[in-house]
Each structure stands twice: as structure tokens, then as C-alpha cells.
Amino acid sequence: MTHSFIEAYKEARTRLEDQLPHIRKEDLAKKLHPSPNSLGFLLRHIADVEMLFAKNVFKVSEIQIRAKTIIDQKDTGEWIDLNALIEYLSSSSQQILNAISRQNDQEWSEKVTTKEFGTKTKSEAFGRIISHTAYHAGQIVLIQKYGA
């Protein structure tokens, strides 16, 4: 079962990863009016949420995270270092994959509670992280194509 979750995560994340080679530094400040969030903010936000998910849902306590996009609750315009964002996204992906691989088959039915989505089994919660990343990946594509 755990192997299937790893494969599902990898496939779902291609919605984001397939876009990364096409993003240029000058794209990071683009927004799609009237949305307040830039492309750079969304990249950082995806990584922040993945790191928090690994830490809080999968209980990977050694993860040190300061989820600035969640703390600030708005785009501060600081997400303009493409290399740093790509590196952080790579790290967040590795953290999620490591966290998933630590789960045994029985742990997927354990309940977890967060303020963001209440109480769910780990397998139900897993759907949240892959849909969150795919949702924002779609926004990134639209911002890159139509944003200013």
C-alpha cells in the first residue's frame, strides 16, 4: 500500500514538476489580476505546505520549517530567487517521499487531526496534499501564460 502512495504522489506532482523548467526568474513576480499571489509566492507556498504536511500529518519531528507564506498570509513580494525556490521544492518533495515511505500499511488508516482539514485518516489526508499541489500548479500555469 505504501508503495502505491509513493507512486501516486510522484505522478500527481508531475503537474508541478513539468512546469519548473519553463519558469524564468522574470516570471516569479507575475500575478493574474485580481489575485494577490505571485507565481513565486505559489512555488514557496507549495513547498511550505508540503513541509508542514510531512511534519504534522506524518509526524516527521526532525523537520525544521518556518512556513512564511502561511505565517504572512499574503504575498510579500520576496519570492524572486528561482534557484532557492526550486531547491526548496526539491527538499519538500524529498521530505514528503521520505515521510510516506516510513508509513506501514496499518498506519494509513490512523486518524490525524489538523486545524486545516479536521480529522481524517492518513490516506484521506494524503489526498489533500496531492490535490493542493496540483491546484496551485494549475494556477502557476495560468499565471505564467496570462499573468503580468
Total number of residues shown for the chain: 148
| Predicted local confidence at residue 88, as pLDDT | 98
Mean pLDDT of 99-108: 95
Q: Residue 36: give its domain's CATH number.
A: 1.20.120.450
Residue 43, sorted as left (phi over 0), alpha (psi -120 to 50) or beta, turns out to be: alpha
Is the separation of the CB atoms in 40 and 85 below 8 Å? yes
Mean pLDDT of 84-97: 98
Helix axes 2-17, 122-146, angle to 10 degrees: 10
Number of structural domains the chain divides into: 1
| Predicted local confidence at residue 100, as pLDDT | 97
Parent domain of 58: 2-146
Mean pLDDT of 97-104: 96
Strand bridging mode 111-114 / 118-121: antiparallel
